[in-house]
Structures are given as C-alpha cells and as structure tokens.
Amino acid sequence: MNTIYRASELKTGESAVISEVSLDATTDPRLGEDCIRRLLELGFIPGESVKVIRKGFPYGDPIAFRIGTSTFALRAKEAQTIKVGLPQS
C-alpha cells in the first residue's frame, strides 16, 4: 500500500484499506470532529477493508461503501475525510 487516496476517489467496485480518518485543510470545515467520530463509530477505522458498491448519478454523490457485511451511504464530502491505500497486487 504505497499511494494514499481519499475514499471519494475510488471507483465503483474498487476496494482499499483505510489508513486514516481525519480532517485536513482541503476538507469542508463544516464537517467537524463530530463527523470523524461518527465515521469511526460506523466502522471506518484504520486497517479495515472498504469497497465502493455504487456512486450516485450523475455526480457520484452519495457513495455506497461496504465494510464487512454492512453497507453505508456517505456524502462525497464525508468520504473525503477517509484516507485509503490500494492493496498490493
């Protein structure tokens, strides 16, 4: 796992491993720490595998993610706080 991406950049059907969930200078400042806490409580924690199941039409928002057997729909701006790495092939 070399390159780090935002979960919002993953394509439909693509899987990755979560490396970090955090706010940075490029994320929407209105999200706040409550958003990070909510994502962690849902299971978006470092080390977990995540897969993009579907992206909304036409702009890719919201995004449906699968973690284990659970599926969650996140707004694209929430998914931007999740940093992921693609598994080595």
- Return the pLDDT at 1: 53
9 SS3 class: helix
Whole-structure pTM value: 0.88
Q: What is the strand order of the sheet 4-6 is part of?
A: 4-6, 82-85, 15-21, 49-55, 63-67, 70-74
Domains of the chain, first to last = 4-85 (2.30.30.90)
| Residues of the chain scoring pLDDT < 70 | 1, 89
The predicted structure's pLDDT at residue 31:
79
